[in-house]
Structure 1
């Protein structure tokens, strides 16, 4: 029998309060997760405002990734102690997710900044720039690797970035030793790298040498990469410089931004020193 001093809500009214459709409440009733406080002789369901908090906890647990089966299991063993344990567990999950979201936000911010910067670049220009020291996370040595070995090295490197949360949003680049570049082996990279503005302890890092670089851009596929290097070497010679220890390459525009490989843009940074 209804208590005349208590306000009861129909399924539709309670669904509106909970901001869900009626079918959600009916399903929760069917699986025994949240049943109406009472049903009348016509089988109409009625809920009380006190059940709103119950519904809110269900939605909270769903929001942090618990399945309905897991929530049902808890509901079958309800107690203040179990509830506290559950809340502490879920807080740890939320804290972890917040850190992950903060990392994702940082990656997005970097990609926005890099893309906005790229929009104002002259890809025909060749400049001499003083680049500050940068901390890079490196792959294992991949120089002279076969195609199969190179593919595996790339895969392993990306897996490590994901596993150790080292992805910073900066492009993955390649480091080529002076000897390989002078021999015309422009894509015989020694290492893959990604910049790490905030290095984590426990990982091997390489500090890119601070100094002067000739910076240019290659538009197109790797098949024509040599033509861009020839342009850079010509300017280097005219300015009285020699090639330094390393050359760094990284994509400015890749498959994320351009559909055709012929439109990809690679930034080439050649370490230089004054000629004898």
Structure 2
């Protein structure tokens, strides 16, 4: 029997209120998650406005990643205490997701800004610049690695950045020691790194010392990197400088922005000192 004091809605009307299609409500009824308040002799379904809040909670739980099966489990044993516990659990999940989204937003901002800066660069120019102290997160030592060991080191470093939430959006770079560059072993990296503008306490960071650096750009694949290094070292010598302890490399343009490795751009920064 219909209660004359309660307004009932057809499936179509209730679906419109809930902003879903009728099939969603029919499916919820079939699995026993949300059944109509009334069904008449002809099989027509009717919902009450009181069921809208019930529907909203289902959609809320779905939005935070809860499965219909888990929602059904809760609904089978619902109580005020269980509801409070469930809401607190979901609040914790949302807080974690919000932190993750804020981190992602920060990464996107870094990539936007660095790409805008790259568009203003003259890749033929070699300059001497003052380098402020930078905090870097390093990989394990990868000196004298085989190609297979290097690939694994990159994979492990990326996994470590993700696990420790240390991916700041800055490019992964490589540090080479002075002796390897002077010996012509330009790709014998000692460490991988990622800049950490907001370092956290308790992390084993490396400080790139402040001072003068010679900055140049290599356009093309890594196989031709030696040509650019020779040019940089020649300019360094002509200007009366000697090579410092570390050399830093990082991509300006890579596979994210360019289709061919001939168009990749690597920024090379050589620590230098007056001879």
Q: Are residues 1:157 and 2:157 paired? A: yes
Aligned twin of 1:186: 186
Q: Distance in 2 between matches of 1:234 and 1:223?
A: 20
Aligned twin of 2:255: 255
TM-score by length of 1: 0.99
Aligned twin of 1:8: 8
Aligned twin of 2:55: 55
1:201 is displaced (CA, Å) by 2.4
Query: Deviations 1:211-241 (Å, cap 9, x if unpaired)?
Result: 1001000000011101111111121111101
Secondary structure of residue in 1 paired with 2:174 = strand
Q: Distance in 2 between matches of 1:202 and 1:27?
A: 51
Q: Distance in 2 between matches of 1:182 and 1:205?
A: 26
Q: Distance in 2 between matches of 1:259 and 1:201?
A: 39
Q: Distance in 1 between matches of 2:73 and 2:175?
A: 54
Q: Distance in 2 between matches of 1:209 and 1:148?
A: 31
Q: Are residues 1:45 and 2:26 paired? A: no
Aligned twin of 1:67: 67
Q: Distance in 1 between matches of 2:67 and 2:211?
A: 55
Q: Distance in 2 between matches of 1:70 and 1:202?
A: 38
1:189 is displaced (CA, Å) by 0.2
Q: Distance in 1 between matches of 2:123 and 2:138?
A: 27
Q: Distance in 2 between matches of 1:80 and 1:86?
A: 10
Secondary structure of residue in 2 paired with 1:167 = coil
Instruction: Give the number of equivalent residue pairs.
Output: 275
Q: Which runs of 5+ in 2 are unaligned?
A: none
Q: Are residues 1:206 and 2:206 paired? A: yes
Aligned twin of 1:144: 144
Aligned twin of 2:87: 87
Q: Distance in 1 between matches of 2:5 and 2:89?
A: 39
Query: Deviations 1:170-191 (Å, cap 9, x if unpaired)?
Result: 0000000000000111110000
Q: Distance in 1 between matches of 2:150 and 2:225?
A: 19
Aligned twin of 1:76: 76
1:64 is displaced (CA, Å) by 0.6
1:202 is displaced (CA, Å) by 2.5
Aligned twin of 1:96: 96
Q: Distance in 1 between matches of 2:223 and 2:155?
A: 23
Q: Distance in 1 between matches of 2:21 and 2:119?
A: 46
Q: Distance in 1 between matches of 2:184 and 2:23?
A: 68
TM-score by length of 2: 0.99
Secondary structure of residue in 2 paired with 1:232 = helix
Structure 1 vs Structure 2 CA RMSD: 0.6
Runs of 4+ in structure 1 off by over 4 angstroms are none
Q: Distance in 2 between matches of 1:98 and 1:223?
A: 42
Aligned twin of 1:173: 173
1:23-38, aligned counterparts within 5 Å? 23-38=23-38
Q: Distance in 2 between matches of 1:153 and 1:230?
A: 27
